[in-house]
Amino acid sequence: MTPPFNLRAGLKLWRGLFFKPEPFISDPTKSEQWNRGKYIVEGPAHCAACHTPRNHLGARKTDLALTGADRLPDGGSSPAITSEYLKQNGWTVSSLSYALQSGLMPDGDVFGGSMGEVVRDGTAYLSKQDRDAIAIYLLEGNE
Ligand code: HEC
């Protein structure tokens, strides 16, 4: 098992190298919660940092947003978290919001790899409203 402090240092490095804040433009056709979720997912929570594949220069392939990625800094890979994929896997707003708080998935398993860290060091500290907003945004998708 990797000591947690090593992984944490790796995550910091990863964010430092790849995370660039972008201005947020809200979508007036969507609910306030959806927009809040989009802001958190794309901004402070860096979900795309690990869930969107990159080209060989390290830039995210935006047309493949949230479709999962391999070659993560810890050597792992991440699954897709698009609305289609999440629904196929039986995720609901409440199970996803709960998983982001507890690290527990609906099948009773726990998030593995760096996702466990993301929950422990990140999303577990969000308010329920913010976790719900993330879940609503991801499950409704961009359509
Ligand atoms: C540091 C990299 C990283 C970041 C940042 C990250 N994830 Fe993950 N995520 C992973 C990995 C790796 C897995 C696979 C975990 C496993 O194998 O158990 C995963 C799995 C998941 C899953 C399970 C999907 C499924 O059905 O299998 C969901 C949902 C998820 N992440 C949502 C999010 C959300 C929402 C965010 C932003 C708050 C986020 N992730 C940020 C790496 C990351």
Q: What average pLDDT does this structure show over 66-86? A: 89
Residue nearest (by alpha carbon) to ligand 1 atom 32:
81
Give the tens place of pLDDT for each residue, 43-72.
878 898 899 888 777 777 777 889 888 888
The two tokens of residue 50 are 């690990």
Q: Compute the average pLDDT of residues 98-116.
A: 93
Residue among 97, 101, 105 at smallest CA distance from 134: 97
For a substitution probing ligand 1, which of 50, 66, 89, 100 has the most ligand atoms within 8 Å of its CB? 50
pLDDT band at 143 (very low <50, low <70, confident <90, very high): low
Two tokens at 101? 């708080």
Token couple for 106: 């609906």
Distance CA 50, CA 29 (A): 28
User: How many Å lie between the centroid of ligand 1 and the Cα of residue 96?
Assistant: 11
